[in-house]
Amino acid sequence: MRYLNTLMLCGLAALAGCSDDFLTNELDVESGARTRPFSVVCEPPDAAPGETVTVTLRCYEPHPESVDISWLLVQDFREDLYEEQEIEGEIVDMDAIATIDPMVYDEEGLGAQSFQFTVPGDVMLLTGDLDDRYDGPVPDQARALIAPANDDHVTRAELDAFLASVDPGALDPESLDWARAVSDRFACQIRLKAHVRSGIDLTVTKNLTVRYSSRFGDGNLLHNPEIDWIAVLAVHYFDLEDPDDIGDYDVDTTYVHHRDPALVSTAPIAVNGNWTYFLEVGSARAPYVSPDGLAHEEAHDYNWYYARLYDGDGDAHFLVDDSGDDRADMGALDEIVRIAPPGGADTKRIRVFAVVRNHRWEWYPYNFVPGAAYLTVPIAFASP
């Protein structure tokens, strides 16, 4: 067993690197371009011990020839006695349990690395998230199948073995409903960590929900959100500050991504200086049930990034605030963001990156981890 203390970085963490004209300042932590991770997506995002998960890291890298990436799996992490640092334990080198191919880059320096791994079967016994005994009521048939050594309670190991091996079809309705409810709450998190070395060092982390819900036909299972479309909205009004007022005016909608390819336009979008422009992403919110049995709809949060695919306008911003002024912070924006399209007679292309995460707030105490979706698309603009 390996343990280490680590001052955790929230979400995706990165440091500044070498300069390159590809990225705008908004994509830099400091001036100059550097390695930029956009997302780590796990499919499925809600997995059982023994289930296979596909992990995909996407990033921008100005010098792909010099990159080295190594992965770790952390099966236990908890705060220290002073609640100042996290202690990570039960750490496994992913190379020992998965075949990880090198990252593949395109001509713009956008990289993708995918691999599969199997969630360790004993992770529920290694995590510090779960108590060593279950003191809740157990239906008679389920108790008979568990056959606890101590009649007063069921141990964590006994409950884990039951949920991992029982045939749901062999349970009576009461025991099946109980098993479904318990499998949702008998949950932990494991952490994937990518150590990226490219002149600088950075760590990218992604937590994963682990529980047995998928074994019991649970309709409450988490799925990654899906990005249905991305559109540019040209509102026929000068300097519209409130996106809620878009519907009060004529709007030209151009889909730059859509599930139906027939709706997508790749022609340059004509920029009218008297209109206001917005970027919008569409993603369906899935229904779910909270631990108390109430029906809800997922919440989403959004991260937008962009990069110029043309020279010049080094100080010009593309994503702007509601008043049209420069915006430096690209994180946690809305599904509709105001933009300042580049003008001029020449066609200019912007690459947009959208990351959507879904939230089920009531399940966070039960080690819920949001799912994630990633999409990038180029958009062409030109003055009429």
Residue 15 pLDDT: 28
Q: What is the CATH number of the domain that holds 28?
A: 2.60.40.10
116 and 157 assigned to the same domain: no
The strands making up 227-235's β-sheet, listed across from edge to edge, are 251-258, 227-235, 276-283, 336-339
Residue 344 pLDDT: 76
Burial of 313 (0-12, 13-18, 19+ CB in 10 A): middle
In terms of residue numbers, what domain contains 142? 133-185
Q: Is residue 221 part of a domain?
A: no
Residue 95 per-residue DSSP state: G
122 and 143 assigned to the same domain: no
Residue 143 pLDDT: 96
How far is residue 74's CA from residue 52's CA, in Å, rounded to a whole number?
16
181 and 195 assigned to the same domain: no
91 and 30 assigned to the same domain: yes
206 and 259 assigned to the same domain: no
What tens-digit pLDDT sequence spans the chain (384 residues)? 333 333 222 333 332 222 334 444 444 433 346 778 889 999 999 999 999 999 999 988 877 888 899 999 999 988 766 666 778 889 999 999 999 999 999 988 899 999 999 999 999 999 999 999 999 999 999 999 999 999 889 999 999 999 999 999 999 999 999 999 999 999 999 999 999 988 778 899 999 999 999 999 878 899 999 999 999 999 999 999 999 999 999 999 999 999 999 999 999 999 999 999 999 999 999 999 999 999 999 999 999 888 888 877 666 788 888 888 877 556 657 899 999 998 777 899 999 999 999 999 999 999 999 999 999 999 999 987
How far is residue 7's CA from residue 247's CA, in Å, rounded to a whole number?
46
Q: Is residue 32 part of a domain?
A: yes
160 and 253 assigned to the same domain: no
Within 13 Å and on the Cβ side, how many CA atoms surround 341? 30
How far is residue 284's CA from residue 169's CA, in Å, rounded to a whole number?
32
96 and 161 assigned to the same domain: no
Domain's final residue, options 195, 216, 237: 216
Q: Is residue 166 part of a domain?
A: yes
Q: Cα-atom radius of gyration of the chain, to the nearest Å? A: 24
Q: Is residue 222 part of a domain?
A: no
Q: Is residue 157 part of a domain?
A: yes
Residue that has been written with the tokens 């878009």 in this structure: 246
**314, 326 in Cβ contact below 8 A?**
no
162 and 266 assigned to the same domain: no
Look at residue 250 and give its three-state secondary structure.
Answer: coil
264 and 338 assigned to the same domain: yes
Burial of 333 (0-12, 13-18, 19+ CB in 10 A): buried
Domain's final residue, options 167, 196, 216: 216
The strands making up 36-43's β-sheet, listed across from edge to edge, are 36-43, 52-60, 110-118, 104-105
Residue 184 pLDDT: 95
Domain's final residue, options 216, 236, 257: 216
Q: Give the residue among 133, 10, 113, 123 at the shortest CA–CA distance from 61.
A: 113
80 and 139 assigned to the same domain: no
86 and 179 assigned to the same domain: no
Name the pairing type of β-strands 201-210 and 46-47.
parallel
**220, 290 in Cβ contact below 8 A?**
no
**190, 48 in Cβ contact below 8 A?**
no
Tokens of 271: 């920029």
Q: Is residue 330 part of a domain?
A: yes
Task: Give the total number of structural domains in the chain.
Answer: 3
98 and 196 assigned to the same domain: yes
pTM for this entry: 0.87
